[in-house]
Structure 1
Amino acid sequence: MLKENIAQEWISYPDAERYSGLSHTTLWRYVSSGEIKSARVGRSVRIHLPSLREFMEERASSK
């Protein structure tokens, strides 16, 4: 059986916090405003990692 490396596109809040260095409250604010894409599955919320990456890139300093 072949095992493929599957890139994870949807991550939990704690994973998103570690990835971005942002607090839970700050991430929640951007998710609520629609600036970062998310999905609710049952009681869980997953953040779209490509959306988070794009959000961080847009705010990266070009200095």
Structure 2
Amino acid sequence: MDNELSDVRFLTVAEVAELMRVSKMTVYRLVHSGELPAVRFGRSFRVPESAVADALQQGRGDDAGQHTA
């Protein structure tokens, strides 16, 4: 199990916001709604890098996929 945890890279909310090109408030909304998994450390959140990659692939965090023709 230690090997699994050592392979996980956690990002701060600010880092996630920069990668997703959204505001930190948007990242907090995604975390609180459960759309973006996160772990709470004290008063801050850390998001697994793999979860950000998954969210970007699925179009979460922006308006992609929400527009209809």
Give the distance between the partners of 2:35 and 2:58, measured in 1 at CA.
11
For normalisation by structure 1, the TM-score amounts to 0.73
Q: What is the identity percentage for the equivalent residue pairs of Structure 1 and Structure 2?
A: 21
Task: Specify every segment of 5 or more residues in structure 2 that has no aligned partner in the other structure, as ranges.
Answer: 1-5, 65-69
* Over 2 Å off, 4+ runs: none
Does residue 26 (structure 1) correspond to residue 15 (structure 2)? The answer is no
After TM superposition, the structure 1 = structure 2 runs for residues 33-52 of structure 1, keeping only pairs within 5 Å, are 33-52=33-52
Alpha-carbon shift at residue 44 of structure 1 (Å): 2.2
Count, aligned residues? 56
Alpha-carbon shift at residue 8 of structure 1 (Å): 5.9
Q: Which has the higher helix share?
A: 2
For normalisation by structure 2, the TM-score amounts to 0.68
